[in-house]
Amino acid sequence: MSSFLKKHMAQYLLIGALLTMTTSLVAGSGLYGFTLNSIDGKPAPLADYKGKVVLIVNVASRCGYTPQYSALEAIYEKYKGQGFVILGFPANNFGAQEPGTNEEIKTFCSRKYNVSFPMYSKISVKGDDQAPLYAYLTKETGTGIAGDIKWNFTKFLVDRNGNVVQRFEPGVTPDSKDVTEAIEKQLK
């Protein structure tokens, strides 16, 4: 072993231990352990949604599924008074269908679809730069829910305790019977 490695081994071990502990703490707190930036760039902890039923959706402005914004907004308006919220996460992972800046995305969503549900800053939902939230959703949430994101507008339904209980692929519209019945079941 080189003298450099011997000299710095304790530092490397300490850094490795701290990274492991941090990852464990985030994973141990489940969904509520994540804080991402809002579309306006301000920290927005998912812990703010404790006690609510949450629908997490990776969105894009130039996708064949983009009109789902209308249905997302409609179900948000229908159920928000009962403790329901939608969280939109713009991502440019599929066909470069979300190329805009956060400001451009926010303007597009508000002007074209009157989006009023919380939107977050653009993130990556797959690949080497995958956001930790999406690593959690796709790897640690259980059978039938975990698995790589295949396209824009994949939806994860979260119960009032922060457990991911259901996943809907992009072709399942937010206002479909499957989605609305699942939301209503969690709101009871």
pLDDT tens readout for residues 62-89? 999 999 999 999 999 999 999 999 999 9
Instruction: Answer yes or no: is 17 within a domain.
Output: no
With tokens 């597009």, the residue in question is: 108
Measured between alpha carbons, how far is 57 from 156 in angstroms, rounded to an integer? 7
The per-residue pLDDT for range 130-166, each reduced to its tens digit, is 999 999 999 876 667 888 999 999 999 999 999 999 9
The residue range of the domain holding 48 is 31-187
Instruction: Answer yes or no: is 92 within a domain.
Output: yes
Instruction: Answer yes or no: is 13 within a domain.
Output: no
pLDDT given at position 28: 47
Q: Is 63 a catalytic residue?
A: yes
Instruction: Answer yes or no: is 91 within a domain.
Output: yes
Look at the chain and report how many structural domains it folds into. Answer: 1
Of 67-71, 106-110, 112-116, 145-149, minimum mean pLDDT range = 145-149
Instruction: Answer yes or no: is 82 within a domain.
Output: yes
Length of the chain: 188
CATH code where residue 182 lies: 3.40.30.10
Instruction: Answer yes or no: is 16 within a domain.
Output: no
pLDDT given at position 23: 37
Instruction: Answer yes or no: is 100 within a domain.
Output: yes
Among 26, 36, 47, 63, the one annotated catalytic = 63
Q: Is the dihedral of CA 97, 103, 108, 113 positive or negative?
A: positive
Share of the chain above pLDDT 70, in %: 83
Instruction: Answer yes or no: is 19 within a domain.
Output: no
